[in-house]
Structure 1
Amino acid sequence: MKLKLVSLLILVGLHEIHARVSVSVTSNSNQEGISDSDYPWTYVCINETIDGPACQRQFVEGNEGPKVPLKTCILTCGPYGALWPYPTGKVSLGSTLSNFSSANLELGTVTVPENNADILQMTTIAFGILQDYVRVKIPEDYQEGSNDGRLVINVVIENLDKRITLETNESYTLTTSLDALQPVVNNVEIVDAPKFRYRGINFDTSRNFVPFKDLRRLIDGLSHNKLNIFHWHLTDSNSFPFYSKRVPQMAIYGTISSKKIYMPDQIVEFLNYANQRGVKVIPELDAPAHSGNGWQFGEKEGLGQLSLCVNAEPYWDYCIQPPCGQLNPINNNTYAVLGDLFKDMLEVFDNDIFHMGGDEISFDCWLASQEITDWMSIHNSTDLMDLWGIFQTTALQKLREASPNTAITPIVWTSEMTARAREYIPPEDYIIHIWSKSTDDIVAPIYNEKYRVILSNNDTVYLDHGYGPWRGTRHAVTRKSWHVLYSQDLIGQIANVSGEAVANEMYESGRLLGGEACMWSEKVDGLNMDGKIWPRTSAYAERLWSNPPSGSTRFAYPRLIHQRETMILRGIFPDTLLPEACYHIWGFCDRFD
């Protein structure tokens, strides 16, 4: 089997190994009870359940004849078996099975331009990860009796790109045959490529600090579900946990504890971990709003007020949610510090894409400052959008200065600026990240004016919704079920607002980059994040990779439950979606609409 390096990275955790694996269950227990051989149940693929093909438990009379375990049944049940997300091209899965041991998976010839040592090392590491994933997928007890057949993967490197970008070619073709690889893999042919090139999650670590061990587990989950973007909402008014070598005061004034800081060398190690698993990390330094704690050192060091309204009370007079903080756009020292922060961050992160935030600016905060009102009077300004425009233009200049040798593309959230002052954010320069409601026609001009967009509508893919308020008692939002995320037709959503012609043009031209589920962390930390993210985001992953028919969840539910089971085997702790019995007697439980 030959694979490009990027294909090997994609296969690492993104698909189960596409071998059709049979399992022979042998009990190693000496305890009294029911042995596997005495257990009189088998599993049969039922093609016409309400949810599509699913495996159903059936009693074996007299406990005679072969019995098929659930994990074996699902591999050949339906057009996609256990594949998640399902491939977008040709899928042909053999109906016969062979035993397979992960020990028989071997790395063959690796062809690399210029025999590049770094790429060779990456390939070896990626293959080791793949072996580990296969080993977890086929537990030791299920590998007994496997034969001496080998699956050899030969890798052909076509270029020396080491990092995932939005231009990375994630397509692959996997072909195996009984004759070529007997007796390891039976006839499999898969042609696959993602429908959208941007498929990710936004995760906030500023409101509650999340250790790297938990972030690595999140990367494992993204990789396992073929999601390629980790948008890291790294800073906010709550805290500034990134350690800046040029401006260490930001962490000193802006962190909860000296133990809750992300150090540059730790971040580099984390980025390598993510990249090796096919995930790109995009940092966000949110500004000018959501910039409070960390910035308050300015006056003490003779730099003036770098941020206004920091921790101001009552918060509702100055910002959307506490604690408040919004950068001072008429203090030149604000831009000097911002430039240094950009430099430090781009020395650590990739410098092709950067999220600049830009949402929820409070004019009330700025108007509460005498500096601001004096500036408006001197400049005969009656609209603070002019000042915001100056800030955005200057901030982009500082970002570009921090990346002198590489063109960098900024991303900004939808805001009042994207609604009525887009002259400050031209489409040739910016990607707009839409968090407005999916039915909000305020975004129509964005679609019509040739912007590239990412969709993260707050009424459909906000994962933190529905867990109750963290302040006060009123809570008007509901939890988004996996069906809601799965059913989000990105192209159809744009068509509903701007018409089919615009929607189709955006998709075909690539201006519709893709989507991103959002997990804001007011009530999330490393201990409870898995169950709030997974498996709902797995459902969204299939939407973004496969783009299933609009409104349809047929063929999804049984495979999603199996996907959850495989994530558990890989050390991830997803929420449960149904009573366990329903997974084993599919077709007898209540339907959903």
Structure 2
Amino acid sequence: MENSMYEVRFKTSPDFRIKRAPNSTIGEPWPLPQLYNVKYDNVFKINESLSIHIRNYSCDILQKAIDRFKVNIFEFSLEEYYTNFLHIEASGFQNLNKKYHQDTLDIKKTGIVLRSEEVWGALRGIETLSQVIFSYKGQLYVRDTSIRDFPRFKHRGVLVDSARHFMTKEVMLDILEGMYQNKMNVLHWHLVDDQSFPYQSKVFPDLSNKGAYHPSLVYTHEDITDIIEYARLRGVRVIPEFDTPGHVYGWGFGHPEMLTQCYDERKQKIPGCYGPLNPARNTTYQFLEKLYTEIINIFPDKTLHLGSDEVPLECWNSNPEVPKDAIIQIWLGGAREVLRAIDQGYRVLFSSCWYLDNIPHGVHWMNYYKCEPTFKDPREDKILGGEVCLWSEYITSETAISVLWPRASAAAERLWSSSAVTDIEAAGKRLQEHRCRMLRRGLQVGQINGPDYCFLPRQRKVVEKEDIHRKNYNHENIIRLSSKNSFSWKYINIIEPFVIGISFSSK
């Protein structure tokens, strides 16, 4: 009997097969680091007296990351994989890691060393370290490991649509936690659209008072500040999108004068039928200037996404008032569209093959995993990265996490790891572990490989979201902290890890 990808086969009867997810790895990271050397026969114990020292520099981002690290390894570390096929006569299955525990070394030497030139590298390194630690019968272990890591792309994003279905603040925080665990660093927040306007503006309160699905289904300035702070502590930028000049019907519930009135063929107004923003009126620009001034004072990132897609031109054409250094996001299309944008001088983000709201039957994460955003073209340095898209026409706040994770994890590894990392079978086993890891840490993620299980404690301790302290941060500092993408880090010579030293170069 052998367990390959997605089924168990019986050697004596090859036609008899059972659908089953692949055997999970244990103590393997996701996404895969750029350089990952492991001595699988060298396994070291970790004591509960583990201490962590930060050298040269520290900040609240690192301190919070270390707090999460301690909780993740001491309370939520993964148990060694177990398969019930062990109980089938002559199954051939065995506990693959058992020999490691029998041969465990107990050597107190240099501990774990994590070196980074930036806070962000240390942040990613701490998360990877938490993933390579596993437990067996209450004892924590880690293999002798050497890692050197950095992201392949600067921009590794998740688009969340909170206009078609309102996403609660709690769900937004869970999405950010999932992004941290998958080393994604940009939350592209599609806040408003034709259907609703949940952003609560103080300068134009009727936008949400009349445009939100319900007066309570809004994001206050305090909500947004909390979400941004939660993201900052996880090394995630928050880029808001206010889609214009199309997709603005939701603006018209409170301010119809902003939109272009549509006319019929007899030049008669069509009541209630509005098109894009009306560019023929000076008041439109005055309104936008006032609104955007408010927005950029709340969202510290230096980028504001304007959407600018699917603009219906019919109303502009029918209305008698209407006179005849960007980054381009490729929503649909492939190499041709990407390279055409590059040839016109633009930098590019790629999303075409990562629409997670399209949910086919069965095991399909491999399609996201195999999606290559560069097309192996020499002009690929103009491709900043990509984003997975969680459009919410048919996805609700109740289902968002299970749809997003771990399917988005496939794209996360493509955006982080080397382009040479393409082994689907090896990735499938690590993805099994990563799914269970996210579940164990409190994210209600969905299935990924078919029939499987994840071991979760029956009396699972509920961990509250960490307190979010609102601070009057220097605006420029938030932009600097939030928008820096490139980092590299390494931790080397993992042996008896009673001490984790985190050090920074003087670069």
Does structure 2 conserve the Cα–Cα contact (< 8 Å) formed by 1:207 and 1:238? Answer: yes
Contact 2:44 2:144 in 1 (8 A): no
Deviations along 1:63-87, one digit per CA (max 9) or x if unpaired, are xxxxxxxxx9833xxxxx5211111
Q: Report SS of the residue matched to 1:294.
A: helix
For the pair 1:485 / 2:378, whether they are aligned, the reply is: no
Measure the CA separation in 2 of the matches of 1:309 and 1:148.
Answer: 76
CA distance in 2, matches of 1:100, 1:73: 22
The correspondence for 2:161, drawn from 197, 200, 204, is 204
* Counterpart position of 1:74: 25
Offset, 1:136: 3.9
User: 2:153, 2:385 within 8 Å by CA — same for their partners in 1?
Assistant: yes
2: distance between equivalents of 1:365 and 1:488? 38
Could you tell me how far apart the structure 2 residues matched to 1:444 and 1:172 are?
Answer: 34
Distance 1:171 1:204, change over 3 A: closer
Q: Deviation of residue 263 (structure 1)?
A: 0.7
Contact 1:106 1:153 in 2 (8 A): no
Deviations 1:25-55 (A, max 9, x none): xxxxxxxxxxxxxxxxxxx9x9xx7559x99
Partner of 1:540: 411
Structure 2 equivalent of residue 326 of structure 1: 276
Q: Is the helix fraction higher in 1 or 2?
A: 1
CA distance in 1, matches of 2:78, 2:124: 29
Q: 1:450 aligns with which of 334, 342, 345?
A: 345
- AA in 2 matched with 1:306: M
Corresponding residue to 1:353 among 291, 303, 309:
303
Tell whether 2:48 aligns with 1:137: no
**SS in structure 1 of the partner of residue 156 of structure 2:** strand
Question: Aligned residue for 1:232?
Answer: 189
User: Contact between 2:261 and 2:273, CA under 8 Å: does it hold in 1?
Assistant: no
Moved more, 519-528 or 103-112: 103-112
Checking the alignment, whether the CA contact within 8 Å between 1:296 and 1:307 is kept in structure 2 is: no
Structure 1 residues 185 and 569: CA distance shift in structure 2, 3 A: closer
Cα distance change of structure 1 residues 569 and 341 upon mapping to structure 2, 3 Å threshold: same
Q: Which of 322, 332, 350 pairs up with 1:436?
A: 332
The separation in 1 between residues aligned to 2:179 and 2:225, in whole angstroms, is 18
Question: Of Structure 1 and Structure 2, which has the larger fraction of its residues in strand?
Answer: 2
1:274 Cα offset (Å): 1.0
Amino acid at match of 1:557: G
Structure 2 counterpart of 1:244, from 193, 201, 209: 201
Contact 2:363 2:448 in 1 (8 A): no
1:104 maps onto 2:43 in alignment: no
Give percent identity, aligned residues only: 27
Give the Å deviation of 1:184: 6.7
Native 8 Å contact 2:386 2:415 kept in 1? yes
AA in 1 matched with 2:258: L
- 8 A contact 1:255–1:294 mirrored in 2: no
Aligned to 1:464: 357
- 3-state DSSP of counterpart to 2:321: helix
Residues 380-459 of structure 1: pairs in structure 2 closer than 5 A: 381=324, 429-438=325-334, 441-457=336-352
Q: Deviations over 1:101-142 (max 9, x none)?
A: 5x4343324433xxxxxx633332221122222234327999
Seen in structure 2, the aligned counterparts of structure 1 residues 526 and 105 have a Cα distance that, compared at 3 Å, is farther
Partner letter of residue 33 of structure 2?
P
> What CA RMSD, in Å, does the superposition of the two structures yield over aligned residues?
4.2
Which runs of 5 or more residues in structure 2 are unaligned? 10-22, 82-104, 130-139, 456-507
Residues 165-190 of structure 1: CA deviation (Å, up to 9, x unaligned): xxx89886999xxxxxxx97552210
The one-letter amino acid of 1:213's match is: E
Local SS of the residue matching 2:249: coil
Aligned counterpart in structure 2 of residue 562 of structure 1, from 418, 433, 450: 433
Letter in 1 for 2:73: V
Q: What secondary structure is seen at the aligned counterpart in 1 of 2:25?
A: helix
Once the two structures are superposed, residues 217-258 of structure 1 have per-residue CA deviations (whole angstroms, 9 ceiling, x without a partner) of 111111111111111001112111111222222112211112
Sort the Cα spacing of 1:150 and 1:362 in 2 relative to 1 into closer, same or farther, 3 A.
Answer: farther
The Cα offsets for residues 442-500 of structure 1, whole Å up to 9 and x where unpaired, read as 4432122331100011xx21111247xxxxxxxxxx999211100001122xx5xxxxx
C-alpha contact 1:432 1:451 (8 A) present in aligned 2: yes
SS in 2 for 1:282: strand
One-letter amino acid of the counterpart of residue 520, structure 1: W
Farther off after superposition, 132-141 or 245-254 = 132-141
2:260: which partner in 1? 308
SS in 2 for 1:274: helix
- Structure 1: gaps of 5 or more residues: 1-43, 57-71, 76-80, 113-118, 176-182, 300-304, 382-428, 468-477, 496-502, 585-593
> Are the counterparts in 2 of residues 463 and 532 from structure 1 also a CA contact under 8 Å?
yes
Please say if residues 488 and 550 of structure 1, whose CA atoms lie closer than 8 Å, have aligned partners that are also in contact.
no
Alpha-carbon offset, residue 331 of structure 1: 1.3
CA shift for structure 1 position 197: 1.0
Q: CA deviation at 1:554?
A: 3.4
Higher relative contact order (CA 8 A, sep 6+): 2
Residue 125 to residue 447, structure 1, CA distance change in 2 (3 Å) = same
Partner Cα distance (1:348, 1:203) in 2: 18
Q: Is the 8 A contact 1:109 1:153 kept in 2?
A: no
Letter in 2 for 1:526: S
TM-score by length of 1: 0.60
Q: Does 1:91 align with 2:37?
A: yes
**In 2: Cα distance, 1:137 partner to 1:323 partner:** 54
Mark the CA change 1:158 to 1:546 in structure 2 (over 3 Å): closer, same or farther: closer
Q: 1:147 to 1:326 in 2, by over 3 A?
A: farther
The whole-number CA distance in structure 1 between the counterparts of 2:51 and 2:111 is: 5
Separation of aligned partners in 1, 2:246 and 2:431: 39
> Taking structure 1 as reference, are residues 295 and 156 closer, same or farther at Cα in structure 2, changes over 3 Å only?
farther
Task: Return closer, same or farther for 1:105/1:273 CA change in 2, 3 Å cut-off.
Answer: farther
In the TM superposition, 1:113-128 aligns within 5 A as 120-128=59-67
Query: Take 2:122 and 2:344, find their aligned partners in 1: how far apart are those partners?
Result: 27
What's the CA shift for 1:547?
A: 3.9
- 3-state SS, counterpart of residue 148 of structure 2: strand
Please tell me the residue identity of whatever aligns with 1:505. Answer: R
Give the C-alpha shift of residue 264 in structure 1: 0.9
Pairing 1:566-585 to 2, within 5 Å after superposition: 566-580=437-451
Secondary structure at the counterpart of residue 230 of structure 1: strand
Distance 1:252 1:355, change over 3 A: same
Partners of 2:220 and 2:151 lie apart in 1 by 34
Change (3 A) 1:274 1:122: same
Amino acid of the structure 1 residue aligned with 2:316: W
How far did 1:93 drift? 4.1
Query: Partner residue of 1:417?
Result: none
Q: Could you tell me the TM-score, scaled by structure 2's length?
A: 0.70
Q: Is the 8 A contact 2:62 2:123 kept in 1?
A: no
Change (3 A) 1:283 1:150: farther
Q: Distance in 2 between matches of 1:221 and 1:330?
A: 44
Amino acid at match of 1:554: E
CA separation of 1:583/1:556 partners in 2, compared to 1, >3 Å: closer, same or farther? farther
Q: AA paired with 2:407?
A: R
Decide whether aligned partners of structure 1 residues 545 and 121 sit closer, same or farther in structure 2, where only a CA change above 3 A counts.
closer
Query: What letter corresponds to residue 538 of structure 1 in structure 2?
Result: S
Cα drift, residue 95 of structure 1:
2.3
1:64 paired residue number: none
Q: Aligned in 2, Cα 1:579/1:156: closer, same or farther, shift over 3 Å?
A: closer
